[in-house]
Amino acid sequence: MSWPERPSDPDVQRLALPSGALALTDEGQGPTVLAIHGLPGSRFDFRYLAPATPRARFLRVDLPGFGDSPTASCGPTAAAHAALLMEALDVLSVGSVALLAHSFGAGIAAHLASHLGDRARGLAVL
């Protein structure tokens, strides 16, 4: 695997979810990977990984209050953020997903994985 010379910066999608609005990017095809940034951070933290994993669908989110996501009506806890991301996965019709998370995102990913059950293919935390 060679490291890409340029990052990937696809157009931002904005989802209106019951728990609040969420901005994300969605690129590639194949098994889905959801990248969850830490604090502070945004979807840009993972922008070199999508081109490095061309056989995967790569979702990168801006957590509420970061990047292009406004502060959501969900609470500030990892569990509340995980519930918001579960809503996003359902709206995007994502079946199984591998979770990749950094810092505060790791707690969110752990909550999300516990609620996804068999839909969670893996969990990697940094």
DSSP code, position 25: E
pTM score of the predicted model: 0.94
The secondary structure of 99-111 as a DSSP string is EEE-THHHHHHHH
pLDDT at residue 73, rounded to an integer = 67
CA 1 to chain centre: 23
* CA dist., res. 86 & res. 58, Å (int): 16
Helix axes 78-91, 104-116, angle to 10 degrees: 60
pLDDT in tens, the chain (126 residues): 567 788 888 999 999 998 889 999 999 999 999 999 999 999 999 999 888 888 999 999 999 999 999 986 678 889 999 999 999 999 999 999 999 999 999 999 999 999 999 999 999 999
Token pair in block for residue 8: 């990937």
Best CA proximity match to 96, nearest among 112, 107, 80, 77: 112
Three-state DSSP state, 120: strand
Alpha carbon of residue 79 to chain centroid: 15
